[in-house]
Structure 1
Amino acid sequence: MSLVRKSPAKLNLLLNVLGRRPDGYHELETLLHPLAVYDTLHFERRASGIELSCTDPALPVDGRNLVCRAAERFFAEAGLRAGVRIHLEKRIPQGAGLGGGSGNAAVTLRALNEMFDRPLSEETLHRLAAGLGADVPFFLLDRPALGTGRGDCLEPLDWFPALRGCAFLVVHPGFGISTAWAYGQLARFPSLLHGRAGRAREVLQALQGADPGRAVAGFFNAFEGPAFEKFPVLELYCRYLCEQGALGARMTGSGSAVFAVVRDVAAGEAMLEALRSRFGRNVWTAVVGVAPC
């Protein structure tokens, strides 16, 4: 038996850090949104062992890869003596804040559960996903969500009326930002390390309305403080896209990708050409509609 599954990216429309928790993690509130940019995973059942191959030679294909770890935990939890061969076609850039690796892990859990006749419940899949990383459970939902706690306590949400018909323009500059580095730097930005609680609910209210500009004006990312300081080109991208007519532009996750919200796909493609003329073409970009993935 074999399966082929797409693995989407994500954007953080809002990422607000509220302080450090007693367990050493940080308390967050974040609005997560699927992004219709995909990796593709091919699964082939085998008698034993986990074998991973990837189109990106820079990615490890052993236990350091979340795909392998997800497969290992699935087989252990299900009590199965079986194996799988997985091939990953990589399109989502690494170290971008787009959740590529987390999405790959979630898709692996769900695909293996399907391939082996669903031995695990949805509750168990979510528990395994949370153990792999804070962003992984989100990719089991296929819709926007409000994340609290470490970001893994999820409230599924309907698609936002304010963004209907809009598009995302995403730019990855060609380098990554370590999440650990980003968190470590927040100590130098006390107002960002201890953000104002309630931002997410305020933005959610605006997203239920009909004015995309009002909603996007509330988007926020605490990690822009350290990231823009060290990598000023990211702030330049955001500023330029807004000058070109974007409704707003922010960084996603702990970086390094930034995204703009634009009126529609045609406007995004025109804006992308302007960006390339200004900054060159040697960066990863995508323009996709805001629509169910």
Structure 2
Amino acid sequence: MELQKPSPAKLNLVLNVLGRRPDGYHELETILHPLAVQDRLVFETRPHGIELTCTDPRLPTDDRNLVYRAARMFFEASGVRAGVRIHLEKRLPQGAGLGGGSGNAAATLLALNECFGAPLGESALHELAARLGSDVPFFLRGVPALATGRGECLEWLDWFPALRGCAFVVVHPGFGIATPWAYAQLRRFPEVLHGTPGRARAALVALQGDDPRKAGAEFYNAFEAPAFEKFPVLALYCEFFASHGAYGARMSGSGSAVFAVVPDVAAGERMLEAFKDRFGNRVWAAVVPVCPG
């Protein structure tokens, strides 16, 4: 049996850090939003073993890869006596804060569960996803969510009225930011490391309204403090988007991708053209609708 599975990205409209927890993780509140750009995975069942190939030679294809680990954990948890050959077509940039690896892992869990007759229920899949990484459970569904805890506690949400008809412009500068580095740097920014609770809920109120500019004004990312200090070009990207009419512009995750919300896809394409005139063409970029359909 062969099955193809898309692996979409995500954006953090709000990412508020509330301090370090006794277990070593950080307490978060974040609004996660699906992004309609994606990797693609192809699964072919086989009698035994796990084989992973990838179009990007820089990525490991053994247990260091989340896709491989997700497959191994699925077989261990489900008791299925079989194997799989997986091919990962990598289209998303690495170290971007777009959740590419986490999405790949979630897509693997969903695909294998489909291939082998759904031996695992939703709660079991969520448990495996949370063990793989804080962002992974979000990718088990294709809708926005409010995430709390270390990011694994999810409140699923409907598409936001304030952003209907809008588009995302997303730019990756060509370099990545390691998440462990970003967290370590927060110690130098105590007001950011211990953020004010409630930012995410305040943004949700605005997102439920009909004013995209008001909603965009509530977007926030604690990791911009260290990222913009070390990589000031990211701040310039956000300033460019804001000065060219974006409703909101922020960095996603721990970086380094930056996104803007604009009135529609046509406006996004015009903005991206102006962006490339200013900063050059050597960036990964995408313009996609905020909501499906």
Cα separation, 1, equivalents of 2:108 and 2:21: 30
Q: Which residue of 2 aligns with 1:43?
A: 43
1:198 is matched with 198
Structure 1 residue aligned with 2:131? 131
CA distance in 2, matches of 1:52, 1:238: 37
1:197-231, Cα deviation, whole Å (9 max, x unpaired): 00111000000000000001000000000000000
1-side partners of 2:291 and 2:248: how far apart? 18
Q: Could you list the runs of 5+ residues in structure 2 that have no partner in the other structure?
A: none
The sequence identity of aligned pairs, in percent, is 73
How many angstroms does 1:292 deviate by?
A: 3.1
In the alignment, what sits opposite 1:146?
146
How far has the Cα of 1:177 moved from its partner?
A: 0.4
Q: Which runs of 5+ in 1 are unaligned?
A: none
TM-score normalized by structure 2?
0.99
Partner of 1:180: 180
For 1:40-189, list aligned pairs within 5 A. 40-189=40-189
1:154-199 Cα distance to aligned partner (Å, 9 max, x none): 0000000000000000000011101000000001101100000001
Distance 1:58 1:172 in 2: 18
Question: Does residue 275 in structure 1 map to residue 275 in structure 2?
Answer: yes
**Structure 1 residue 64: deviation in Å?**
0.6
CA–CA separation in structure 2 for the residues paired with 1:194 and 1:141: 30
CA-to-partner distance for each residue in 1:107-152, whole Å, 9 max, x for gaps?
0001000100111111000000000000000000210000000011
The whole-number CA distance in structure 2 between the counterparts of 1:119 and 1:287 is 38
Moved over 4 A (4+): none
The DSSP-based 3-state class of the residue aligned with 1:204 is: helix
Q: What is residue 240 of structure 1 aligned with on the other side? A: 240
In 2, distance between residues paired with 1:156 and 1:141? 9
2:77 partner letter: E
Aligned residues of 1:159 and 1:292 also touching (Cα < 8 A): no
- Aligned positions of 1:246-261 closer than 5 A: 246-261=246-261
Q: Which amino acid aligns with 2:209?
A: G
Q: What CA distance in whole angstroms lies between the structure 1 residues aligned with 2:172 and 2:59?
A: 17
Residue aligned with 2:33, SS:
strand
After superposition, the C-alpha distances for 1:211-252 in whole angstroms (9 at most, x for unaligned) are 000001000000000000000000000101111111121000
Counterpart secondary structure, 2:285:
strand
Residues 1:12 and 2:12 aligned together: yes
Greater displacement, 221-230 / 51-60: 51-60
Cα contact 1:106–1:129 (8 A) shared by 2: yes
Q: Would you say how many aligned residue pairs link Structure 1 and Structure 2?
A: 293
Task: Point out the more displaced range, 225-234 or 55-64.
Answer: 55-64
**Partners in 2 of 1:140 and 1:47 — Cα distance?**
26
2-structure distance, mates of 1:272, 1:48:
47
Aligned-partner residue type, residue 208 of structure 2: Q
Q: C-alpha distance in 2, partners of 1:88/1:292?
A: 24
Give the secondary-structure state (helix, strand or coil) at the position aligned to 1:291: coil
Q: Which amino acid aligns with 1:241?
A: F
Does 2:214 align with 1:226? no
> SS where residue 111 of structure 2 aligns?
helix
Separation (CA, whole Å) in 1 of partners of 2:60 and 2:257: 22
Q: Deviations over 1:88-113 (max 9, x none)?
A: 11111110000000000000001000
Q: TM-score, normalised by structure 1?
A: 0.99
Shift of 1:258: 0.4
Task: Name the aligned partner's letter for residue 284 of structure 1.
Answer: W
